Amino acid sequence: MSDMIVLEVEGLEKHYRNFSLSVSFRLASGEVLGVVGPNGAGKTTLIHCMLGIVKRDGGRVRFFGLDMDQHEVEIKQRMGFFLEEAPLFRRMRASDVLKFFASFYPRWDWRLANKMIQQFELDVDKKVGELSKGMRAKLGLVTALSHRPELVILDEPTAGLDPGMRREFVQVVRELRRDFSPTILLTSHIMADIEDLAERIAFLREGEVALIESKTRLLSSWRRLRGRCQDVRQLNPGDWVAIEHDHASGEVHVVTNRWSPALIDRVREAGLTDPEVCALNLEEIYGYVIGARGREFEAPPAIRTESASE
Amino acid sequence: MRLYDPGAEERQEGSPCGGRESKISSPGDSNVERAALKAVIKKYVLYDHFFRRAYLVLVAQMSAILLVFTALFIVKKSPAVYLLLISTGVWLGVGLGAPLIVAGAIQREKAEGSFRTLRALPLRAETLFLGTILGGVIASILALVPPYLIATMGLMVLRSWDVMLLQIRAGWAVLLMSFLFASASLTVALCVNSPAVIVNMIVGFSTLVTVLALSQTLLDVRPFSEEELLHLARFLLSLEGQALISAIVVVLSGVILYMGSRIFSRQKSYV
């Protein structure tokens, strides 16, 4: 992964009556950034604002160092996109859709397109509306990747796909990375996709980036310490992402996003006996960051936002 | 499963296979703009099944009707000027119908969500706008060809050379009307996202026309005398009159297109 910044989103803002999006992040060349968040968090709005489908109210979006407002065509020729639910033209034949897309990309590679068509067993003589959801998603991938884009934007590409198709999709993206290592921005609310593909993860919550961190760092810095405690009030809520008390078993779980072995002594001092350290998976981390869990303690999440340049 | 082979032509153009150097456009690259424009026109006129089916049915139906009338006129040796009147009606039907079908296709794409794919492609909003309008205009012109040829042949059989001269002017007038109508209807289809707004616009426009027509009677406006009408008709059929009307229609269409293009490219959402 080189240090060249492929995508720079600076103070992007979009306001609706009931929802506001305010986002900043950077994406380095060759990186795979997964954007996760619950429904309505603003993932699709973010993609639409970046692609110019929806006009943003403020901020700046730069691709490959170029301003999107001034170099729209040039930028879009270098990127591929897959929109949510692959809204391709339902009354057109798949082959015509491919021909249509090919006419916009000077670097369109029919050999690569045909390879994918063969691999996906895609019937290009059928109209898009006659294809199954999975096949439409595959056609969407062919249109997104056949010009070997430097940046690929995938918006919920596996939503509604069965597990087999999902696995196939993950495999295709992996092969693609081996083939020409594009930078990928992937949104999903399926954590397994993100876990499989992303190197860095941005958690989007109510239109804002709650946390952006590398996957390795997330998995190494988030821990749950489990033990028993006589007085939970001795554990300062400000020090932890969450403190969970299971009244039935008497067990107390404290969650940290700044794990270091020294924390064991700290919880011991706070009265937690025989602390056991457990690693958290991304699904669990997602739950804490998005706020679905640990809310009853009203612990201010000790979360910081970092940029790619750091 | 069938492997798609777009043929040698595309392979030549697709650089990695064809061996040609790939090229990313620079701002204002006219070749890229032209290719994008061509692709948008082809999309609506050639690739879209909804458009193709509705369009072919419209043209075939109207041509068949005109063919029957022409045959009747020839058999009954009726005055050729009436054939011209009927033909003009048919030309107007296909000339105005074709852009309406394109407008329907656009609105359908907006409802399905595929229109946002068009905006995500590497083409400027202005190019998409112009390409769609041109698609409608080309569809209109192509739709006019079969009924125009049928009427021409009918008039030739009837040996009505003077009416044939009028036919050229009537054809030109229909062409201009189609251009104006394509500009207006497609501008509305592109710029308005809600079908409810379109329905309101149609109802509002119809009401306005009705009110204007009624107000003439209610306000006791003096109608044109026969002499004034003849004078007007002579002027309209003269070269000067035709040139003036053509210029007005072209300017009006130009204004609609300019404003439409500005509104479309400044739209807040293409979803």
pLDDT digits (tens, 9 = 90+) for A204-227: 998 999 999 999 999 999 999 988
Q: Which residue has the higher pLDDT, B190 or A86?
A: B190
Cα–Cα distance measured from residue A201 to residue A203, given in angstroms and rounded to the nearest whole number: 6
Instruction: Tell whether A299 is covered by a domain.
Output: no
Contact yes or no for A114 and B121 at CB 8 A: no
Please report residues of B whose CB lies closer than 8 A to that of A51: 119-120
Please, is A193 exposed, middle or buried when counting C-beta atoms within 10 Å of its C-beta (0-12, 13-18, 19+)? buried
- What pLDDT, on the 0 to 100 scale, is given for residue A303? 46
Quick check: A298 pLDDT over 80?
Answer: no
**Measured CA angle at B223 (ends B221, B225), to 5 deg:** 145
Q: Which residues form the domain of A210? A: 5-217
Instruction: Tell whether A296 is covered by a domain.
Output: no
Contact yes or no for B120 and A114 at CB 8 A: no
Residues A174 and A127 in one domain: yes
Residues A194 and A285 in one domain: no
> Using one digit for the tens of pLDDT, what is the confidence trace for B205-230?
889 988 888 887 777 777 778 888 88
Smallest CA-to-CA distance from A160 within A137, A130, A184 is with A137
List the single residue in B29, B113, B123 with the smallest CB-CB distance to A104.
Answer: B123
Quick check: A307 pLDDT over 70?
Answer: no
Which B positions 67-96 lie with beta carbon below 8 A of chain A? none
- What pLDDT, on the 0 to 100 scale, is given for residue A146? 94
Domain count, chain A: 2
List the single residue in A83, A102, A109 with the smallest CB-CB distance to B116.
Answer: A83
Q: Which residue has the higher pLDDT, B262 or B225?
A: B262
Quick check: A111 pLDDT over 60?
Answer: yes
- What pLDDT, on the 0 to 100 scale, is given for residue B141? 95
Residues A282 and A235 in one domain: yes
- What pLDDT, on the 0 to 100 scale, is given for residue B191? 93
Cα–Cα distance measured from residue A286 to residue A192, given in angstroms and rounded to the nearest whole number: 11
Contact yes or no for B32 and A106 at CB 8 A: yes
Quick check: B252 pLDDT over 90?
Answer: yes
Residue type, A129: G
* Sheet of A58-63, strands arranged across: A66-67, A58-63, A5-15, A20-28, A208-214, A200-205, A32-36, A183-188, A151-155, A79-82
CATH assignment of the domain containing A246: 3.30.70
Quick check: B197 pLDDT over 60?
Answer: yes
SS3 of residue A5 by DSSP: strand
Residues A229 and A162 in one domain: no
> Using one digit for the tens of pLDDT, what is the confidence trace for A3-56?
789 999 999 999 999 999 999 999 999 999 999 999 889 999 999 999 999 999
Please report residues of A whose CB lies closer than 8 A to that of B36: 73, 103-104
Instruction: Tell whether A307 is covered by a domain.
Output: no
Instruction: Tell whether A305 is covered by a domain.
Output: no
Domain edge (last residue) among A166, A188, A217: A217
Contact yes or no for B114 and A48 at CB 8 A: no
Instruction: Tell whether A308 is covered by a domain.
Output: no
List the single residue in A55, A72, A109 with the smallest CB-CB distance to B14.
Answer: A109
Instruction: Tell whether A56 is covered by a domain.
Output: yes
In angstroms, what separates the C-alpha of A142 from chain B's closest C-alpha? 12
Contact yes or no for B16 and A112 at CB 8 A: yes
What is the mean predicted confidence (pLDDT) over B240-251?
A: 92
- What pLDDT, on the 0 to 100 scale, is given for residue A301? 44
Residues A264 and A191 in one domain: no
Instruction: Tell whether A146 is covered by a domain.
Output: yes
Residues A195 and A276 in one domain: no
pTM of the model: 0.84
Residues A165 and A279 in one domain: no
Please report residues of A whose CB lies closer than 8 A to that of B23: 106
Please report residues of A whose CB lies closer than 8 A to that of B120: 51-53, 76, 81, 83
Cα–Cα distance measured from residue B59 to residue B148, given in angstroms and rounded to the nearest whole number: 11
Selected for mutation to probe chain B from A14, A53, A142, A146 (highest B CB count within 10 Å) is: A53
Percentage of chain B exceeding pLDDT 70: 89
Residues A176 and A242 in one domain: no
Q: What is the mean pLDDT of chain A?
A: 87
Confidence band for A140, pLDDT divided at 50, 70 and 90: very high
Residues A212 and A270 in one domain: no
Which residues are CB-contacts of A23 (< 8 A; sequence separation ≥ 6)?
A9, A12, A42, A46, A59, A204, A207, A208, A209
Contact yes or no for A87 and B112 at CB 8 A: yes
Which B positions 97-126 lie with beta carbon below 8 A of chain A? 105, 108-109, 112-114, 116-117, 119-125
Cα–Cα distance measured from residue B263 to residue A89, given in angstroms and rounded to the nearest whole number: 24
Which B positions 212-271 lie with beta carbon below 8 A of chain A? 266-271
- What pLDDT, on the 0 to 100 scale, is given for residue A252? 87
- What pLDDT, on the 0 to 100 scale, is given for residue B24? 57
Instruction: Report whether A117 contacts A142 (CB < 8 A).
Output: yes
Cα–Cα distance measured from residue B48 to residue B102, given in angstroms and rounded to the nearest whole number: 10
ipTM of the complex, rounded to two decimals: 0.84
Q: What is the mean pLDDT of chain B?
A: 86
Cα–Cα distance measured from residue A118 to residue A105, given in angstroms and rounded to the nearest whole number: 21
- What pLDDT, on the 0 to 100 scale, is given for residue B162? 87
Please report residues of B whose CB lies closer than 8 A to that of A98: 4, 6
> Using one digit for the tens of pLDDT, what is the confidence trace for B107-120?
999 998 899 999 99
Contact yes or no for A103 and B36 at CB 8 A: yes
**Range of lowest pLDDT (A48-57, A99-108, A250-259, B18-27):** B18-27
Residues A67 and A206 in one domain: yes
What is the mean predicted confidence (pLDDT) over A61-89?
A: 92
CATH assignment of the domain containing A121: 3.40.50.300
In angstroms, what separates the C-alpha of A1 from chain B's closest C-alpha? 23
Domain edge (last residue) among A198, A217, A236: A217
Residues A173 and A286 in one domain: no
Residues A191 and A108 in one domain: yes
Please report residues of B whose CB lies closer than 8 A to that of A54: 268-271
Domain edge (last residue) among A162, A182, A217: A217
Percentage of chain A exceeding pLDDT 70: 93
Instruction: Tell whether A302 is covered by a domain.
Output: no
**Range of lowest pLDDT (A297-306, B95-104, B223-232):** A297-306
Q: Which residue has the higher pLDDT, A280 or A162?
A: A280
**Chain A within 8 Å of B10 (Cβ-Cβ)?**
yes
